[in-house]
Structures are given as structure tokens and as C-alpha cells.
Amino acid sequence: MILSSIALLLLSGCAHVISKEVRREVTKDLTVAQVLKDPDVYKGRGVLWGGVIIESQNLREGTQIVVLEKKLGWRGRPKESDQSRGRFIVLHPGYLETAIYRKDREITVAGEIIGRKVMPIDQMDYTYPILTPRQIHLWEEEREVAYPYYGPDPWWWHYPYWRYPYRYPYRHWYW
């Protein structure tokens, strides 16, 4: 009984970020590269895509988020890689704070393809598939934690707090 409760608790913490109901409605094998060839053919199809936000802006029709697509991991988080199958636009019908949905944040979106939009990238025109989202998950930023490094010290055995570098403010208190 206790083991099954612990297992259930652990598994619920590792669940996919998009609900099962929404994931049932998406076409699993439909990639951005396939849709880029002719977005109008795939209108109305549900997809589950993710990636890194390139830019976001609030328009009259809602918030537009341009995303550089990345493959998703088993929980739905975009994988860290230098490969992408293209870009897409998420057009949220309401207001989203662009200071939060900003450049370089990771995002996972389950939504419906509603069309395409041609916008310039540098000096070329690029056709973006447009999604209207059913669910959006903005991933928490991973913060790097810096730990102090004192380097090799031949006198480490003299230092009584060598295992706890934050407990004593001075590295060599005996000097």
C-alpha cells in the first residue's frame, strides 16, 4: 500500500505537461517540416510542437509567438540541440505578457493549424504555419548555480571546515 502510494506520487511528478485529452487529439507524426511544404493542406489538424521562442509581440488579434522548433523529450520539453525542422507561429487569442514569453524561453504547445503567414527573415520571405493553442506550457528557466572552487590546496587537512566552505567566511583563517 505504501509502496504503491509512493510510486503513484513519483510518477505523477514526471507526467507529460500536456493533458492526455489534448494529446489524443493531435497527429503525432506530423512535423513542422511536413507542414511547411503546404500548410493549407493541414488546416484543422492538431499538433504537439515545442521549441525556443524567437520573439513575441502583442497584436490586435492576440499574442503572436514565433518559435524555433525542437524535438520534444518524453515529458514534452524541447531537447537541447542544434537541429530544427523549421519555425512556426503560435497565435494566442488573448493577451500574454511578452516580458514573460520572451526570447530564448522554452515552450511546448498543443494546438490546431489554422493557416500560414509569410514574414521576412533577413532578406528572404519565410512561410510560417500558424497554430491556435489548446494548451501552452512555458518551461521554467534552468538556473546555473555556481559553487566556490578553492583549487588544489596542500593544506586542506589543516582547515577544520574543509567540507563546509560556506560555514566559515575565510578560506585560510590561520594565516
Cell 574543509, residue?
Answer: 162
Q: What is the pLDDT of residue 141?
A: 86
CATH class assigned to 17-138: mainly beta
The pTM of this model reads: 0.74
116 contacts 127 by C-beta, under 8 angstroms? yes
Least confident of 48-57, 70-79, 84-93, 140-149: 140-149
Q: Reduced to 3 states, what is the DSSP secondary structure of residue 7?
A: helix
What CA–CA distances, in Å, run from 175 to 3, 128, 166, 170? Answer: 54, 65, 18, 10
Q: What is the pLDDT of residue 173?
A: 46
36 contacts 127 by C-beta, under 8 angstroms? yes
Residue positions counted in the chain: 175
Q: What is the pLDDT of residue 171?
A: 46
More confident residue, 145 or 120: 120
Q: How do residues 107-137 score in pLDDT, each as one tens digit? A: 999 999 999 999 999 999 999 999 999 999 9
Residue 9 banded pLDDT, cuts 50, 70, 90: very low
11 pLDDT higher than 90: no
Residue 65 CA to residue 102 CA, distance in Å, equals 9
Share of the chain above pLDDT 90, in %: 63
Q: How do residues 21-75 score in pLDDT, each as one tens digit? A: 999 999 988 999 999 888 889 999 999 999 999 999 999 999 999 999 999 999 9
| C-alpha cell, 48 | 504537439
Q: What is the pLDDT of residue 38?
A: 87
**Backbone torsions φ then ψ of 10, nearest 5 degrees:** -65, -40
Which uninterrupted H or E stretch holds 136? strand 124-138
